[in-house]
Amino acid sequence: MHSTHVGLQSHFNTYFAQPSRPGSSLKDYLLMSVASYVVHRSALYALLWASAVVELGLTGWRIHHTKSVAGFYDPIVAALLVSAVLTLIWIPITSFLHLRKARGLHSDTGAGYAPLHAESGGNIVLWIMWLVDAAIATHKWPTRALVGPSSPKDAHLLLSLVAFAWISFGVLSLACVFVLMHFAALRAIRAAGHTTSEKTGA
């Protein structure tokens, strides 16, 4: 086990310390990581936007149907609709923040922190909303009570509402993880820049 650890450590040091490839450095590697985080979050936000569109359609139809038939609607359905609408509004905003991050991608000072703070704030608000709404909807319409060969059409709609709520929550959770990884990469780039400056000054 010790020899394996030493071997991995020596391989890591060799990869980052020796100029075996032109332009290869820890800083370049971190910059590529930052770029990949932006790309991956863009794909996740596109998937989240599509999920929110489906949720908006399902909740809108459910509210219209229950008001027409029974003269009322479930508050949790309205809450899911609000979460879907806010998500559809937020995605273009955070896409704009992505453009700002991409513009300052090769900054040595970690200037991309400000857009990340704004993105994180909006994501956390939506994350809490989706979590609470999905949990309440799951408690109100448990799967075992709705699934079955004799279930009415409305039961399948309710299951779809719950499913897409959890899908949206899961995708947004992954996006939040990539935001944290982006933060860590920027901090590492900043530290690497300071280390390089100290060595140059010495």
CATH label of the domain that carries residue 197: 1.20.58
Q: Which residue has the tokens 């609607």?
A: 73
| Lowest mean pLDDT, pick from 2-11, 28-37, 85-94 | 2-11
48 contacts 172 by C-beta, under 8 angstroms: yes
pLDDT-based confidence at 70, cuts 50/70/90? confident
Residue 4 within a domain: no
Residue 13 within a domain: no
- The count of domains in the chain is 1
Residue 121 pLDDT exceeds 80: yes
Residue 8 within a domain: no
Residues above pLDDT 70, as percent of the chain: 61
Would you state the pLDDT for residue 60?
A: 94
**Which of the two residues, 35 and 16, has the higher pLDDT score?**
35
Residue 92 within a domain: yes
Residue 3 pLDDT exceeds 90: no
Residue 5 within a domain: no
Would you state the pLDDT for residue 109?
A: 45
Residue 16 within a domain: no
Please name which of 63, 60, 91 lies closest in space to residue 168, comparing C-alpha atoms: 91
Residue 61 pLDDT exceeds 50: yes
Give the residue-averaged pLDDT of 116-135: 91
Determine the Cα–Cα distance for residues 145 and 113; give it in Å rounded to an integer.
47
Residue 85 within a domain: yes
Query: What is the pTM assigned to this prediction?
Result: 0.72
Q: What is the pLDDT of residues 43-53, one digit of tens each?
A: 899 999 999 99
Q: Which domain holds residue 114?
A: 25-201
Determine the Cα–Cα distance for residues 74 and 89; give it in Å rounded to an integer.
23
Residue 107 within a domain: yes
**Which of the two residues, 81 and 107, has the higher pLDDT score?**
81
Determine the Cα–Cα distance for residues 167 and 171; give it in Å rounded to an integer.
6
Give the residue-averaged pLDDT of 21-39: 56
**Which of the two residues, 65 and 151, has the higher pLDDT score?**
65
Q: Is 4 exposed, middle or buried (0-12, 13-18, 19+ CB in 10 A)?
A: exposed
Q: What is the dihedral of CA 80, 174, 38, 190, to 10 degrees?
A: 120
Would you state the pLDDT for residue 102?
A: 56
Would you state the pLDDT for residue 193?
A: 56
**Which of the two residues, 176 and 118, has the higher pLDDT score?**
176
Question: In terms of C-beta distances under 8 Å and separation of at least 24 residues, what long-range contacts does 36-40 make, across chains too?
Answer: 37/178, 37/179, 37/181, 37/182, 37/185, 38/98, 38/101, 38/102, 38/105, 38/182, 40/178
Taking all residues of the chain, what is their mean pLDDT, rounded to a whole number?
74
